[in-house]
Structure 1
């Protein structure tokens, strides 16, 4: 066993116990050669079925880079340009007014910068499968679902966005806020341009050429559907949160492009080779220029990370830029990473939601570099914030995706409060703070109006609006 793996596994086992993870798989390679593979737990608790590198898990938003790869292929074929306006391919698209609508380009969707705030339409697209899921009975999600329409087609998603009334975050290209709705519409653009369904295009032009035979949108499409994980989720029962089996896969036919692929550690490791080698291997799927465009920083996410096309980039990561993305849906916690300069790549897949999988990725990268598994990647340099300015940030912040967080002031310090937990905020820049949650540091920014009044906060990659 390599020296780093023992320290990593001690860290990983403790984290998974704390997070009550029924099952997980982790794979790591250097220069394309696997140096680590390990399964933790089981794919089915009741039957105690084992996991493997070929067990199918959900990957949720890791799907986004596949969608962007499809767009880049169509650009290489001369069928579109990422700088084209969305309305060229989706003339029904409308957001707020003509000026805003005509200014939004394909790459604004790819980089989460169309200026659209978080909207609730992914739940509308998932509504039929959510309604069939016993796991949501008696939860807040069940009540929230009643407020959104069924959005079963691209046309219904386009209509919902067109009818939305509110305020843009800013002109297209100026404000980053994670946006599933735009990614759903990238699927529609792929369909219009290729004259194929989004699912068929991805299968024939990306999955099949890469040999990803166990990567599908529906487990029913697998040649061998036995080695598929059961899904688990967290639910409060008699006031206590418990992990329960919740085997129904959620689906969103009109938004599959934002996060509904299923895959395996082995398939994803093959996919990551495309980004590790800059398109040289496997050859013919994407050009070096397209890979470079996908992995270039197009939008600032926070003080540590930027967003490319379907991928996040940490330019100052120790050892070289880190390319990564995570995913989370019911029964899914996923993360993939590539660090081209060190030749490292890896996959983490868990069969329950709410797992800090990025901490596991950082644990790999730390221990493999002889750092403690839970070492902070970036030092936190605290700035002094005058006490009289604290009140500017205090308030309740919400999004239409039902995300909310409150900033409170106690004893001359700011705290972020969410889900009954309180985190002290450390000022690190003008309107920028970090806080420790678990083993890592999270960054938040506040945004001001033209008059200098704090009106929004970035949190969990979304911009939340101050409502009180």
Structure 2
């Protein structure tokens, strides 16, 4: 065991959250200027066999994969094969939407979730083969099986583009004007990498990022690890009479047509190597992976995704994070809640991985960063001034808002104020600004922003990094 700093306040805080949400296993580690300064495994990678979590335990990383996809695009740009400002249709001529703005959508818009695409149902069909094999899919938080289940699996990039072309939807706005998280855009970035490199997307990432970084236990398909046995079991949770039951659910969800959106598996140690690329502006050890200019482009705050927080290329950036810049990305998927963070000015890198979805990994990570930097574990980087609204003003926000990805939320006025319900739970939300509310969902703070049309009527909500309409 390397000598490391003591973070006892954080460990007490983390254990409380881990017990509350019954997280079987959690791995967290931090490095300072490339040297590991803290590592801790809580719980088990295999509960039945009492096998502990270590910094080399392989977990899914889910959407943290998105920064790898952007890095692959930046490498192709450095090779002179594309510009991020090229229109997507230059490389994907069969990509189309039911709007006249398709030709204006650039690679940059895809990388920043600003193409204007609303949440689409594609991801469900991209994972359909896994869902059909996995009884635990019904217990995944927020997943609702589409009623029209005649659509077959989307296995290829070409099938994905054909599916999108056949949908009927309106853009959220002109490309570049509205942020809404889009797994579809990231899947298609993987398509561009594949077509321009002449390799599969997965092989390109391995050849240009994973192998040069020495990420030996990182892969897209778990079978690639062969005899390596330090791999987490997968867990799901269901509601039972006396609360929550966490159980083993061994099927990994795969989506070959959307690997660029969230398919990598990795370890804390491997991800700390990867984080060096951002901390050092392009290098891991003596190997240069990206140019300094490419790294700067990746962590430039291009578009606001929630108040005070911006999206770059595969990273979220908070320019005012307790006096520094926080570069981060999280992920949630079956048996995954993850987060990577980098504070470049301070040389800090960190990674947390868990083996259960829908748990507050981001809150645990925030507690660790707070302890590491000498703050109270529950400190937050933003102030939330409360605003009082009349019942008539609150009534504006009432309604049901539904995403084509399957999420639905309902807003109701009660005597106490606004009540917000989603995924079978409800809780009050507090107004903290014009059309802006604060929710605390599973111990994670989220801002909810309502969007009005030209006549001043509420037309959609921005929640959980997505915009979806009032029905």
Give the alignment partner of residue 384 of structure 2, picking from 380, 386, 404.
380
TM-score by length of 1: 0.95
Residue 438 of structure 1 and its aligned partner are, at CA, apart by 4.7
* Cα 1:18/1:146, change in 2 over 3 Å: farther
Residues matched between the structures, number: 466
- 1:295-349 deviation digits (Å, cap 9, x = unpaired): 1111111113111111111111113010001111111111110001121111100
TM-score by length of 2: 0.95
Equivalent residue, structure 2, for 1:464: 468
Equivalent residue, structure 2, for 1:278: 281
Contact 2:29 2:40 in 1 (8 A): yes
Residue 372 of structure 1 and its aligned partner are, at CA, apart by 1.8
Matches within 5 A, 1:438-449: 438-449=442-453
- Name the CA distance, whole Å, in 1 between partners of 2:462 and 2:90: 31
Equivalent residue, structure 1, for 2:30: 28
- Name the CA distance, whole Å, in 1 between partners of 2:185 and 2:221: 22
Equivalent residue, structure 2, for 1:328: 332
Pair 1:127-2:128 in alignment: yes
Equivalent residue of 2:341, what SS?
strand
Equivalent residue of 2:161, what SS?
helix
Residue 19 of structure 1 and its aligned partner are, at CA, apart by 0.9
- Name the CA distance, whole Å, in 2 between partners of 1:141 and 1:387: 32
Contact 2:5 2:37 in 1 (8 A): no
Equivalent residue of 2:97, what SS?
coil
Equivalent residue, structure 2, for 1:452: 456
- Name the CA distance, whole Å, in 2 between partners of 1:254 and 1:441: 32
Any unmatched runs of 5+ in structure 2? Answer: none
Equivalent residue, structure 1, for 2:433: 429
Contact 1:136 1:142 in 2 (8 A): no
- Name the CA distance, whole Å, in 2 between partners of 1:251 and 1:104: 28
Equivalent residue, structure 2, for 1:5: 7
Contact 2:139 2:236 in 1 (8 A): no
Equivalent residue, structure 1, for 2:298: 294
Any unmatched runs of 5+ in structure 1? Answer: none
Equivalent residue, structure 1, for 2:59: 57
- Name the CA distance, whole Å, in 1 between partners of 2:242 and 2:468: 28
Give the alignment partner of residue 96 of structure 2, picking from 94, 97, 120.
94
Contact 1:319 1:341 in 2 (8 A): no
Contact 1:374 1:439 in 2 (8 A): no
Equivalent residue of 1:90, what SS?
coil
Equivalent residue, structure 1, for 2:178: 175
Query: For the aligned residues, what is the CA RMSD?
Result: 1.9
Q: Which moved more, 1:157-166 or 1:422-431?
A: 422-431
Matches within 5 A, 1:314-325: 314-325=318-329
* Cα 1:80/1:138, change in 2 over 3 Å: closer
Residue 146 of structure 1 and its aligned partner are, at CA, apart by 5.8
